[in-house]
Copies of this chain bind each other. A is one copy, B any other.
Amino acid sequence: MPFTPPVRDIRFALDELAGLADVLKLPGFEEITPDLVDAILEENARFVAEVVGPLNDKAERQPPVCENGSVTTTPGYAQAFRQYAEGGWQGLQHPQRWGGQGLPHLVAAPAGENIQAASLAFSLCPMLTDGVIEALLTVGSEPQRKQFVPNLIGGKWTGTMNLTEPQAGSDLALISTRAVRQDDGSYRLTGQKIFITYGEHDLAENIIHLVLARTPDAPAGVKGISLFIVPKFLVDDAGNLGKRNDVWCASLEHKLGIHGSPTAVLLYGSGKGEVGEGAVGYLVGEQNRGLEYMFIMMNAARYSVGQQGIGVSERATQQALAYARERIQGRAVEGSAGPVSIAHHPDVQRMLLTMRALTDAARAVSYVAAAAHDKGTHHTDAEVRSRNRALYEYLVPVVKGFSTESAVEVASLGVQVHGGMGFIEETGAAQHYRDARILPIYEGTTAIQANDLVGRKTLRDGGATAYAIVAAMRDTLKAVEAEVARADEADRAGLRLLRDNLDQAIQAYEHAVGFILENASSNVRAVFAGSVPYLMLAGTVLGGWQMARAALACRRKLAARADADPFYRHKLATALFYGAHILPRALALSSAVRSSDVADACAAQADIA
């Protein structure tokens, strides 16, 4: 079914929760007026609905194929990508100096989210290209930037990230691709990379691979990995294409989902091509600092994958809701003259509201993160920058882990709402369930996000950022408390439950943070055995915090006008539902974190390893 970008929900989260107005006041964004943001979001919605959305299920019938090293993508993809490039969508968040639009992340994020929602498989190519641009801008030399970045931003070329090898997935220390320096200062690469998203395709005239490899004299482990640019076609200084490089697609993977996205096995240095043996590559930055550089791409990509989770959730929710309103089946439990639409049944409503509440909460948290990114880079006050940077750093693994795990749950509920029809591929609900499953895996599994959240983001500053979040949440709690007193009977029960459950959830989160800080040195295994429950706890509670802020904002809007806009009623109901049905999960998650010493002891006895 067609996808409609949820422009109004996005605007609500931008304005009321993430503070778009404040972000637009930051230096560097003076030219970005609210009207311009509106225009961008409207144009984005049109493009997404008309051009990208219709691609989504096409690849199910005609997936990309690889023949003799060349990949032909699904019909329609190439044209859509041209329109994407011409529309300037690749450049949204990139600097104007290099051809981009220089928009705040807070504006680029929803635009990207809609494209990802419309076709996850399609959106991966721009997303990885973003990462390559970001890495080259940060650590590439000036000539490298000039040579590659404008054409990447312009959508003439695309980019890829080449990390994984058969023996080296999450553990990049095991990478064995070799790079040998030549007399002219370039390198020759040999090796095999797998799981390379859009590693080969026909959407653009050139592909710029960023590749992790080892030089012959490099130390073992992660400290001996360097980063190289390997273009599919060599490029002269003026950007003209030259010889075909020695990097070849050996095959495409047969995957559970995102069928439209060609996942390539790439061979470096198989001796084909026009450059002799070995793929020609160019060192980026300094030798042996490749992993550090790659994390620049990874961090941007992790945030984007979190947005993908929100996108898939949004699309699955729209589809389930439309089906539920249409499908007539069964009488109302409270009695009805005849059969009603299944959207009337209490459990279908529970599922749909769970889907919507998780989507809203994940979106709100991710926009708050994007705003923190913008303030962390553009604010004039160094202390504000530093505080926001810490918040953003804390939120990235939460956005990535929570939004994507939620997406799996939401997509699964989407199938369930459809009943037997959900299991039939043509219905389309199953595709979201299949597509969503990669999200908690790629760009770092949920466990890797959780380890980052525990190790670098919670322990390193002694819990300072986590406790600052607790304090901010308690402020919101007080505001909810005050609102309970103001509420009439219709909203009071829901607000009171939200207050009670948020209070409990904040405590549960605080206790979990305390457990991690106390046990990190004495029982590191226990702390990491509880890291994923901690991440999910953080997502659940922070989501609840934002839903509480959403509830307050809606109450303000509704109080301000007698002719109350039903939009705010709906939003308020979704936020209160989150408080009633989702927030209590915090209790179970916190309990799991705090009993991870027992869980780890069990694992030692349970014949696992």
Cβ A442 vs Cβ B420 within 8 A: yes
Cross-interface CB contact of A584 among B349, B526, B592, cutoff 8 Å: B592
Q: How many copies does the complex hold?
A: 2
Cβ A423 vs Cβ B257 within 8 A: yes
- In the A-B complex, the 3 residue pairs with the smallest Cβ-Cβ separation, listed nearest first, are A584-B591, A573-B605, A573-B606
Cβ A609 vs Cβ B344 within 8 A: yes
Q: Which residues of A contact B (CB under 8 A)?
A: 164, 167-171, 173-174, 195, 253-257, 321, 324-325, 328-330, 333-334, 339-341, 343-350, 352-353, 356, 408, 412, 415-416, 419-426, 430, 433-434, 437-438, 440-442, 445-447, 450-451, 490, 493-494, 497, 501, 524-526, 528-529, 531-533, 566, 569-570, 572-574, 576-577, 580-581, 584-588, 591-592, 595-609
Cβ B345 vs Cβ A447 within 8 A: yes
CA A343 to CA B603, docked complex, whole Å: 10
Tell me the minimal C-beta distance from A334 to chain B in angstroms: 6
* Most chain B CB atoms below 10 A, which of A341, A345, A348: A345
Cross-interface CB contact of A591 among B325, B425, B501, B526, cutoff 8 Å: B501
Tell me the minimal C-beta distance from A182 to chain B in angstroms: 32
Chain B residues closer than 8 Å to A434, beta-carbon distance: 256, 434
Cβ B608 vs Cβ A334 within 8 A: no
CA A164 to CA B169, docked complex, whole Å: 46
- What 12 additional pairs, Cβ within 8 angstroms, besides A325-B609, A346-B528, A501-B591? A170-B330, A170-B419, A341-B609, A344-B609, A347-B447, A347-B528, A347-B531, A412-B412, A501-B595, A577-B599, A580-B596, A587-B587
Tell me the minimal C-beta distance from A342 to chain B in angstroms: 8
**Smallest CB gap from A531: residue in B:** B347
Chain B residues closer than 8 Å to A253, beta-carbon distance: 423-424
A selection of 13 A-B contacts at a CB cut-off of 8 Å is A170-B419, A171-B329, A254-B424, A256-B423, A345-B528, A346-B525, A350-B529, A416-B445, A494-B598, A494-B601, A494-B602, A580-B599, A584-B587
Chain B residues closer than 8 Å to A344, beta-carbon distance: 609
Contacts A420-B169, A494-B602 given; indicate if A425 touches B254 (C-beta within 8 A).
yes
**Smallest CB gap from A577: residue in B:** B602
Cβ B600 vs Cβ A346 within 8 A: yes
Tell me the minimal C-beta distance from A207 to chain B in angstroms: 21
Cβ B419 vs Cβ A169 within 8 A: yes
**Smallest CB gap from A567: residue in B:** B607
Chain B residues closer than 8 Å to A328, beta-carbon distance: 167, 174
Cβ B532 vs Cβ A350 within 8 A: yes
CA A440 to CA B574, docked complex, whole Å: 25
Tell me the minimal C-beta distance from A449 to chain B in angstroms: 10
Cross-interface CB contact of A577 among B346, B412, B490, B606, cutoff 8 Å: B606
CA A447 to CA B333, docked complex, whole Å: 12
Tell me the minimal C-beta distance from A15 to chain B in angstroms: 20
Contacts A605-B569, A608-B353 given; indicate if A346 touches B595 (C-beta within 8 A).
no
